[in-house]
Structure 1
Amino acid sequence: MLSRADASAGQAATAPLVIVASSGTGGDMQPFIALAQGLQQRGRRVLLLVPGWQEAAAQASRLPYHTFGSAAEGQAMLGDSGLWDERKGWGVIWKGLVPHLGAVRGVVQGLPDGEDCVVLCHPILVPMAALARSARPDLRIVAAYLAPSNVCSSHDLLTTGSLRIPAWVPLAWRQALWRMIHRTMIDPLMLPGLNAARAQHGLPPESHFFAHMLAAPDASLGLFPAWFAAPQADWPPHFVQTGFAGAATHGAAALPPELERFLGEGAPPIVFTPGTGHQHAQRYFSIALDVLRRLGRRGLFMTPHAAQVPQDLPPGVMWQAHAPFAALLPRVAAVVHHGGIGTSADAFRAGIPQLVVPFAYDQFDNGWRVKRLGVGDVLLAKRLSAGRMRRQLARLLAAPEVQLACVEVARRMGQGLQPARLFEQVEAALAAA
């Protein structure tokens, strides 16, 4: 009779290879690396597929990986100020992906004959994975949604970009708004490159980009809890909600010694970050420094791009390129951030107020969900000023109801799915696909 260990080893040897594919900045990459690491720890065979400019993150994960594109292409994208424009951003991202739409297909073709595999990918890479079906028609695809806005629900539509959608707007109007956005803004931008790539491999053209992105997967995961975004009638079929996936692990989550010293020298600081990929935030940090002076508070500026941080920071303000938020945020007074889903989740877990300053993508929707929970507020990047930021931060830091809401949300985070249960749901989705 086989022992349990022998049986597990046999299952791992015969289980399909999981190709975990993602693209984007740190907030997009780290949850997928964390999923790949967790699956590997559970005995699954995994292979990362990442853009070339994120190779360092793949190397740090100690997982097998392939890359597509070059570091120079990634830097050109990050250097484009349109990347953080709510109207231009999707075009900048898609322009960088179009030359590499065959990346998943190339990986699949390179596998041994008969090797079973399934693709677990970021939604923006679903068209790339679907293109691989020209080489392997039975390829199974699971999309993992980091944030609810990417599911394009008309029922729970809080905002389209910086335009706030009031709750009283009828469903038919919301649906018409989505159709107009796709017809006039999304499809003309995305479909030409996608359909040219599909034609090269004998696949029929697609007429609606997001419809294709939502329908092509065999199963979909929502990596956010129901209290953050409740299930909706127009979500894709075979959709499973788990919880926030967390960040990848690259060793112990210890704070740098100089940061430890800074935290111990005075009152908890306010953290400011526009996101790891943002290279055009000089004005953001200049305003943040002015706000800290007006409030008489200490601050911590988080960005790997030091050139955008004001020079000669006063003693009560510190710059850091990186720090593990899981260890840092429980020790700060509040966080001002771009609305990235990972930063939002870390702040929920830490039980601290958030001021969300969204620039593009899902950041607007995430921000309004933060506000709806009572733990933060929204200040649109295009309306950013020192006066507005100071007033909103002062209110968040002083309001007892905000502190109570932060405690309640932190409690919910603590009662969320344990990692083992989350990965059981991920594996169930992979198997169902």
Structure 2
Amino acid sequence: MSETAPHYLVMTVGTTGDIHPFMRIASALQMLGRKVTFVTHSYYEKVVRDAGLPFVGIGTDEEFLHVLRNPDIWDPKKGFSALLANYSDGLKQVLETIESISAQAPHVVIAHPFAVPGAIIARERGLVKAVVAAYLAPSNLRSCHDPLTIGDTSVPRWVPMSWRRALWRFVEKGWIDPVAVTQLNAVRTPLGLPEVGSFLTHIMEAPDLSVTLFPSWFAPVVPDWPRPLIEGDFQLFEAAAQDGFTEALSAFLAAGEKPLVFTPGTGNFHAADFFACALSAINRLGRRAIFLTRERAQIPANLPESVLWQAYVPLSALLPHAAVLVHHGGIGTTAEALRAGIPQLVVPFAWDQFDNGARIASLGVGMVIPAKRLRPRKLARSLHTLYRSETVRAQCSLLASRFTPPHDPIALCREVERLV
């Protein structure tokens, strides 16, 4: 590697679905012989180091879990304020981390959107050469074009563009900027940097390059996304065929028909109603099921033999053995079900989950029931429709074929290098 080759700082925040795609990019950069440092929550240190990536942690496990234990983060309207309650502290930690890393080579930061403002400050202070914003899901990019889903609100196609722009201004001024801009400027102003007026505009316009970590067939580029922009693909975690399988899981899978799999996501500690409803629906259908969550307290105390609880199993290993996946609509989980070629029933709670669910429905591979409207009878009816539909199964198989051969992250990294 040349002495002038950049040192890549790959920075992300969030839960497992936010970590794995960035790990795949970091590993690809290492395969190209580049120097890489992975920066994320200290909570994920073992996962990252086990993948052979140099790691720098941010925050403590207690701070990370404190955020996840706040039920407001899964509320469509309260979630943003709850997640960014201490955003200024997080930005300061990002800056301190960048400052602590050796400056012997120019730094290029590849960042999750929430980490972009900290990386931009570092660039303005001469600590970073370039900032690349990597977007995991389509709704991470503000757009006025169809399909337009803002939180749990879907905007009809007939709504004029002027009304769409006005709606975004209303959302930004009412929910996003009072929290994010205030805390961002609280870090920028003491450093003598100009104030930011719009959080989403700053995230989209300030980076040197933007990359989508989803394919165009899932969400084609629209005119108001930032430029320059690289159209990427899903960056999925690769697990061995039975990686993470317990003896109980292997025995359960071998004992009968393919089960339904239920998960509210690795970061959801407030899904007791989700699992209670799932158990009631399963009993109505007479089907087998697997419940996935690290929080056993969310699971009904007494499970029948037809239901197995597991703390965690890589979806890439489990879903080929499943009939249907019922999940929250996180982008990583959504992509894994697409790759496995199985129907999905999306139960969105907040964030990008509503938009991801709407896209799954429009692709003909699943259905959507918002978490607040989930009821046992409705869930059972929808599941019955999904696993019996030959049309849905055919469409699932068609989209699964798009994952063969697997997407090459090295080609994406080379394109990033070329443009940066």
Structure 2 residue 92 is matched with structure 1 residue 105: no
| Alpha-carbon contact 2:260-2:289 (below 8 Å) kept | yes
Query: Residue 45 of structure 1 is aligned with which of 26, 35, 48?
Result: 35
User: Which digits, 9 at most, give the CA deviation of each residue in 1:163-191, with x for residues without a partner?
Assistant: 12222222222222112111221111111
Equivalence for 1:432:
419
2:272 is aligned, of 271, 282, 297, to: 282
CA contact (8 A) 1:33 1:248 kept: no
Residue 397 of structure 2 corresponds to which residue in structure 1? 407
Q: How many residues align?
A: 420
| Alignment partner of 1:35 out of 15, 25, 29 | 25
Structure 1 alignment gaps of length 5 or more = 1-9
Residues 203-257 of structure 1: CA deviation (Å, up to 9, x unaligned): 1100000000001110011011111001110010111111101126699835333
Q: Quote the Cα distance in structure 2 between the aligned partners of 1:374 and 1:166.
A: 19
Amino acid of the structure 2 residue aligned with 1:28 = D
Equivalent residue for 1:190?
180
Residue in 2 that maps onto 1:127:
117
What is the CA-CA distance between 1:52 and the residue it aligns to? Answer: 2.4
AA matched with 1:289? L
8 Å Cα contact 2:357-2:368 kept in structure 1? yes
- Residue in structure 2 matched with residue 273 of structure 1 by the alignment: 263
The answer to whether 1:172 aligns with 2:162 is yes
Separation in structure 2 between the aligned mates of residue 80 and residue 254 of structure 1, nearest angstrom: 28
Quickly say closer, same or farther: Cα 1:306–1:129, change in 2 above 3 A.
Answer: same
2:300 to 310, 328, 344: 310
**Inter-partner Cα distance in structure 2 for 1:250 and 1:104:** 34
* Unaligned stretches of 5+ residues in structure 2: none
Pair 1:418-2:412 in alignment: no
Check 1:253–1:64 CA distance in 2 against 1; reply closer, same or farther (3 A cut). Answer: same
Letter in 1 for 2:246: P
CA–CA distance in structure 2, aligned partners of residues 427 and 96 of structure 1 = 36
SS of the aligned residue for 2:218 comes to coil
Over 3 Å counting, the alpha-carbon distance change for 1:47 and 1:267 in structure 2 is: same
TM-score by length of 1: 0.93
Counterparts of residues 344-363 of structure 1 (less than 5 Å): 344-363=334-353
Q: Secondary structure at the match of 1:260?
A: helix
Paired AA for residue 432 in structure 1: L
Q: Which moved more, 1:36-45 or 1:342-351?
A: 36-45
Say whether the 8 Å CA contact 1:288–1:386 is kept in structure 2: yes
Q: Which residue of 2 aligns with 1:219?
A: 209
Instruction: Tell me how far 1:138 sits from its aligned partner.
Output: 5.4
Q: Aligned to 2:83, which of 72, 86, 93?
A: 93
1:292 equivalent in structure 2: 282
Deviation at 1:429, TM superposition (A): 1.5
- When the two chains are superposed, the root-mean-square deviation of aligned CA atoms in Å is 1.8
Distance 1:266 1:148 in 2: 38
Question: 1:160 & 1:104 partners in 2: Cα distance?
Answer: 28
Q: State the 1:432 CA deviation.
A: 1.8
1:316-340 Cα offsets, whole Å, 9 max, x none, are 1001111121121111100000001
Cα offset for 1:401? 1.2
- Counterpart CA distance in 2 for 1:108 and 1:250 is 34
Contact 1:34/1:248, CA 8 A, preserved across alignment: no
